[in-house]
Amino acid sequence: MSPASIQNEQDTDSDSDVEFEDVPIALPRRPRNREDTDIAITIASTPQPQWSPTLSLPQQRSQPIPSGSEEETQLRGQISTGIERITYRKMKSDMGMDAPDTPASERRYDSFKELAADVEGLVDTLWASATPAIQTEALITLAGLTQTSLPAFPFDAPSTLNILHKLDSIFAALCTGTHPLTGAVLPGAQTGQSLVTETQKVRIRSLAERTRHQVFSCLAKSNDRGNAAATVSANAHDYVYGDDEDEDSGDEADEPWMLEATRLYEKSLMLLAEQDPEVEAGMDEFNCL
């Protein structure tokens, strides 16, 4: 075999190797149908609660403020001034009036969230004082002010349920003499000792029941306004919802708040439901007033 033939045979083998090793294999492509272009896969998921209550409390004093001390006088004045300011700003909200030069701290409330923030500030101050002689009466006043203020503003579920959850936790703590987060005995109390009088327990229970009723009333009104707005929107777009679709969407949207509303003042009411006959009698008399 001549050198030229040998060279041609080597070249042929080399090209053959390259052909099978380096050349990619392309699969035939079929035409895409229109139905293949958009394929959506929907995975059903379980609805999650929109919100759950949280409880944060400031550090308490190691001992209650001494009775008759200057510190006690200052605390009473601070709480009294704070309650008066909240009442004043809420009254201005009812009137819908404000002077242009009114300081921000004295302007009318534009939402329940603003009012609840001021209430919570005083509640935290009272809790930190660890002084039952001042705490309970002021907390009852603040809880009552919160309850009567609810109808004055559009219902704000997170703000409402959060402040009421904190009030409930503190009332229950004072009734049992234990910290709601740590379970430790509260300053100035002994194990198993309540820091709330029997008369105060009656007032707390009545207030809790009225507040629950008020919240459900506000929720119902809020739902009615939402349904009315949905009807107006539907009519504007010449679209009428089916009965099942309308009712289901409303129920699903409101369900988390309704479930939370059923737990309002749950701790306090469970504790106060197990009172002795004298407290029960006092409760009946109080409700008749």
Q: What pLDDT does residue 130 have?
A: 96
Cα–Cα distance for residue pair 271/192, rounded to 1 Å: 13
In a domain? residue 19: no
Q: What pLDDT does residue 255 have?
A: 56
Residue 198, pLDDT above cutoff 80? yes
Which run of H or E residues covers position 235?
A: helix 198-236
Cα–Cα distance for residue pair 56/163, rounded to 1 Å: 11
Which run of H or E residues covers position 137?
A: helix 132-149
In a domain? residue 86: no
Compute the C-alpha angle 257/260/263, nearest 5°: 150
Q: What is the mean pLDDT of residues 12-39?
A: 50
Domain region containing 130: 109-288
In a domain? residue 49: no
- By the 8 A CB rule, do 199 and 179 touch? no
Sign of dihedral through CA atoms 240, 244, 247, 252?
negative
In a domain? residue 187: yes
Tally of structural domains, the chain: 1
In a domain? residue 241: yes
Q: Which comes out higher in pLDDT, residue 20 or 113?
A: 113
In a domain? residue 224: yes
Condensed to tens digits (0 to 9), the pLDDT of residues 91-144 reads 999 888 888 888 888 899 999 999 999 999 999 999 999 999 999 999 999 999
Q: What is the mean pLDDT of residues 62-75?
A: 95
| Percent over 90 (pLDDT), the chain | 52
Residue 183 carries which side chain, given as an amino acid letter?
G
135 burial type by CB count under 10 A (0-12 exposed, 13-18 middle, 19+ buried): buried
In a domain? residue 73: no
Q: What pLDDT does residue 23 have?
A: 46
For the chain, give percent helix, strand, coil, nearest 5: 65, 0, 35
In a domain? residue 10: no
Residue 62, pLDDT above cutoff 50? yes
The mean-pLDDT minimum among 142-146, 148-152, 177-181, 278-282 falls in: 278-282
